[in-house]
């Protein structure tokens, strides 16, 4: 078969429901190198601070709904993304996503090794 399908909720969320949800879909879509995730954050919610130095994976974040702040480095720089905005991040860039808005934010996260 030349394609695979998945639904967001096929895997268990790795984020508690009260904070939103995060679904890693790489396994469901049977990709070899491409990571694909959906992140939803309630107002006041935040993602995990991390970088992808070990994996060598660059990432692209696409905001589908809401507004998020992405703190970079040690929090010395913040990129604000609104609906339909995107950002690409180098593997070494430390990042953390925050929803400081009043509505649930929804993002599509895509990553692959450089």
Q: What's the pLDDT at 1?
A: 63
φ and ψ of 18, to 5 deg = -65, -20
Report whether pLDDT(12) > 90.
yes
94 Cβ contact list (under 8 Å, min separation 6): 49, 50, 51, 72, 73, 74
pLDDT tens for 67-101 read 999 999 988 999 999 999 999 999 999 999 999 99
The CATH class that applies to domain 36-113 reads mainly beta
Strand duo 95-98 + 105-113: pairing: unpaired
- 55-114-66 Cα angle (round to 5): 80
Domain definitions of the chain by residue range: 36-113
Task: Report the predicted TM-score, pTM, of the whole model to 2 decimal places.
Answer: 0.93
């Amino acid at each position: 078969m030349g394609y695979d399908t998945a639904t967001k909720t096929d895997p268990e969320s790795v984020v508690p429901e009260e904070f939103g949800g995060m679904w890693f879909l790489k396994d469901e879509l049977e990709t070899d190198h491409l990571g694909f995730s959906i992140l939803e954050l309630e107002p006041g919610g935040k993602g995990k601070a991390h970088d992808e130095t070990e994996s060598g994976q660059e990432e692209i974040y696409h905001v589908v709904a809401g507004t998020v702040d992405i703190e970079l480095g040690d929090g010395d720089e913040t990129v604000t993304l609104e609906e339909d905005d995107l950002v690409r991040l180098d593997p070494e860039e430390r990042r953390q996503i925050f929803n400081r808005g009043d509505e649930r934010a929804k993002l599509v996260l895509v990553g692959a090794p450089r």
